[in-house]
Amino acid sequence: MKAAQVSPKLIDKYGLSGPRYTSYPSALHFADDFHESLFLQDLKDQQAPISVYIHLPFCRTMCWFCGCNKIITRKQDKADRYLDYLAKEMLLWRSQLTDVKVGQIHFGGGTPNFLNPKQIDRLNALLRCYLPLTPDVEISVELSPDVLTEDQVWAFARLGAKRASIGIQDTSPVVQEAVNRPQPMECNLNAVKWLREAGFKSINVDLIYGLPHQNRDSFKQTIEDVLTLSPDRFALFNYAHVPWFKPTQKVFASDVFPNPMDKIEIFQDSRAALEAAGYTFIGLDHFAKHDDELAKAWNNGKLKRDFQGYSVTEAQAILGIGLSSVSQSPNAYRQNIKELDEYEAALDAGHLPFAKGIALTEDDGIRRTVINRLMCQLKLDFVALSKELNIDFDDYFATSLADMQALVTDGFVEFTDSGLAVTELGRLFLRNIAMQFDAYRDRQVGRCSQTL
Ligand code: SF4
């Protein structure tokens, strides 16, 4: 596929702040006046097994680019205490959700492999004791290769994990030094070797473009390096520079970043190299081997998007457990408390550690479906959506469609017989296209990361 040409004029015009649309509305709009009972009822109504996300927040060192909710510590016993509180939270949920089954679990962080093998075994016991797992529950885990040991991999295998996502970001020592994440290639090679030996059936590699000191040549080398690992999937994320929200990012001088045109070229080079190596480009920023489930879901129009990015999950609800975790149901989002002492205090008092959330209005639900469809299928069928959402699509989105004309003129979108389709050029501006359907667009300007 020939790379789409992007002019500096388009970059100036569309280099805006905007959400990544892993949720709609974005987490910026969660509020503390949300009634949790709505979310609980939604969860209780689930006939199919739900997904569970468990947040393990500890990391040994701080990566300066990081946008996650994490706690930096070298005290291993903090994880023992945290497991005590995860057990309390699981018990509370279990008492609320007597008829619900759990079909998928994902461990994110922080660094889940901050836990030592003994602590991972305890986590395994907690899951089996307190969560109503289906016999074929699917378990996945995020891992940091720089601190991973073979014993930890086997402990996660005992826990039932079959999928792993490893954070590499960039293999250049210059970039790694600038972001405070030294990670020799040997760590990545070991991680993949141990995971394959332990029977993990799917390995994803996370990369980030837009980091300090990256350039086209350096990132070409990164892609060459990571291809030697032959993972099943890649996520190639655009670095989110939000220093007003993540103050540690202020450590970076403003002139160390690749500019938006460089970033687009880095992305296009990477896409070409990954496609040439047998990976399918999926949605906004994912790649998967042609026979991978994610690529199949993409080709069949069955791809899903949620807080963890693109997935094939069928679950209508995700229950977040642990510090700062986000839950999602058909009609609401809710988030746990972010501060560890407050999280513990809520559980000590016998309360679910709720911080904030949002109940979706009918309009939110309609726009969530439309934006999700766009992010997952790159097209909208107005007739089918009118029927599915019980609206007259052209009428309901008259303003969005009028505004869309500018994006048609700029070559991002084409109107078709059945609706609209994103062009090859438009894939680079997918977040901008989705923003046309976002009712909160004007209220989040300057609060999100840059789209380019
Ligand atoms: S290891 Fe991951 S979660 Fe921890 S600081 Fe680094 S990027 Fe953030």
Per-residue pLDDT reduced to its tens digit, 144-181: 999 999 999 999 999 999 999 999 999 999 999 999 99
Bridge partners for 238 per DSSP:
209
Tell me what percent of the residues of the chain surpass a pLDDT of 90.
84
State phi, psi for 444 to the nearest 5 degrees: -115, 5
In a domain, 210, yes or no: yes
According to the model, what pLDDT value does residue 406 have? 94
Q: Do 301 and 371 lie in a common domain?
A: no
- Distance, CA of 49 to CA of 388 (rounded, Å): 23
Q: Whose CA is nearest to atom 2 of ligand 1?
A: 110
Q: Which uninterrupted H or E stretch holds 421? A: strand 419-422
Domain boundary among 302, 321, 340: 321
pLDDT per residue over 38-47, tens digit each? 899 999 999 8
Residue 443 has pLDDT above 80, yes or no: no
Mutation test residue for ligand 1: of 56, 61, 68, 180, the one with most atoms within 8 Å of CB: 68
Q: Do 284 and 417 lie in a common domain?
A: no
In a domain, 239, yes or no: yes
Token readout for 353 is: 């550690």
Residue 444 has pLDDT above 70, yes or no: no
Residue by residue, DSSP assigns 180-215 as T----HHHHHHHHHHHHHTT--EEEEEEEES-TT--
What type of residue is 241?
Answer: H
Half-sphere exposure of 450 (CA within 13 A, CB side): 18
Bridge partners for 138 per DSSP:
104
Residue by residue, DSSP assigns 355-377 as EEEEEPPHHHHHHHHHHHHHHHH
According to the model, what pLDDT value does residue 347 have? 98
Q: What is the mean pLDDT of the chain?
A: 94
Mutation test residue for ligand 1: of 55, 56, 63, the one with most atoms within 8 Å of CB: 63
| C-alpha 408 – ligand 1 centre gap (Å) | 39
In a domain, 404, yes or no: yes
| Residue 158, CA distances (Å) to 109, 119, 125, 178, 292 in order | 20, 12, 10, 36, 24
* Listed residue (215, 200, 211) closest to 266, CA to CA: 215
In a domain, 356, yes or no: no
| C-alpha 41 – ligand 1 centre gap (Å) | 34
Q: Do 268 and 415 lie in a common domain?
A: no
The size of the chain, in residues, is: 452
According to the model, what pLDDT value does residue 1 have? 64
Residues in Cβ contact with 399 at an 8 Å cutoff, skipping those fewer than 6 apart: none
Token readout for 36 is: 């949790």
Q: Whose CA is nearest to atom 7 of ligand 1?
A: 66
Q: Do 401 and 314 lie in a common domain?
A: no
Range of the domain at 373: 363-447
What type of residue is 34?
Answer: F
According to the model, what pLDDT value does residue 420 have? 96
Q: Do 170 and 298 lie in a common domain?
A: yes
Q: Do 146 and 64 lie in a common domain?
A: yes
According to the model, what pLDDT value does residue 173 have? 97
359 band by pLDDT with thresholds 50, 70 and 90:
very high
| C-alpha 287 – ligand 1 centre gap (Å) | 22
Shortest-distance atom of ligand 1 to CA 67? 8
Q: Do 189 and 43 lie in a common domain?
A: yes
The pocket around ligand 1, CB under 6 angstroms, is made up of: 59, 62-63, 66, 68, 70, 109-111, 144, 167
What CATH number corresponds to the domain at position 55?
3.80.30.20
Q: Do 220 and 367 lie in a common domain?
A: no
Residue 4 has pLDDT above 90, yes or no: no
According to the model, what pLDDT value does residue 307 have? 83
In a domain, 1, yes or no: no
| C-alpha 51 – ligand 1 centre gap (Å) | 23
Question: How many independent structural domains does the chain possess?
Answer: 2
Mutation test residue for ligand 1: of 59, 175, 183, the one with most atoms within 8 Å of CB: 59
What CATH number corresponds to the domain at position 384?
1.10.10.920
Shortest-distance atom of ligand 1 to CA 61? 5
Residue 115 has pLDDT above 90, yes or no: yes
Q: Do 177 and 268 lie in a common domain?
A: yes
Residue by residue, DSSP assigns 126-170 as HHHHHS-EEEEEEEEEEE-GGG--HHHHHHHHHHTEEEEEEEEE-
Write the secondary structure of 210-246 as one string of H (helix), E (strand) and C (coil): CCCCCCHHHHHHHHHHHHCCCCCEEEEEECCCCCCCC
pLDDT per residue over 386-415, tens digit each? 999 999 999 999 999 999 999 999 999 999
Token readout for 363 is: 């309009």
| C-alpha 27 – ligand 1 centre gap (Å) | 20
Mutation test residue for ligand 1: of 70, 73, 246, 248, the one with most atoms within 8 Å of CB: 70
Q: Do 313 and 368 lie in a common domain?
A: no
Shortest-distance atom of ligand 1 to CA 169? 7
Range 106-135 average pLDDT = 97
Residue 50 has pLDDT above 70, yes or no: yes
Q: Whose CA is nearest to atom 6 of ligand 1?
A: 63
In a domain, 4, yes or no: no
65 band by pLDDT with thresholds 50, 70 and 90:
very high
The structure's pTM equals 0.95
Residue 100 has pLDDT above 80, yes or no: yes
- Distance, CA of 151 to CA of 428 (rounded, Å): 41
| C-alpha 413 – ligand 1 centre gap (Å) | 36
Range 252-257 average pLDDT = 92
Q: Do 298 and 180 lie in a common domain?
A: yes
Q: Whose CA is nearest to atom 8 of ligand 1?
A: 66
| C-alpha 73 – ligand 1 centre gap (Å) | 12
In a domain, 159, yes or no: yes
In a domain, 50, yes or no: yes
Residue 244 has pLDDT above 90, yes or no: no
Q: Do 312 and 407 lie in a common domain?
A: no
Tell me what percent of the residues of the chain surpass a pLDDT of 70.
98
Domain boundary among 289, 321, 353: 321
81 band by pLDDT with thresholds 50, 70 and 90:
very high
Range 290-309 average pLDDT = 92
| Residue 367, CA distances (Å) to 30, 216, 310, 322 in order | 16, 37, 18, 29
Residue 447 has pLDDT above 80, yes or no: no
Task: Tell me, rounded to whole angstroms, the distance of Cα 299 from its chain centroid.
Answer: 20
Shortest-distance atom of ligand 1 to CA 70? 3
| C-alpha 68 – ligand 1 centre gap (Å) | 7
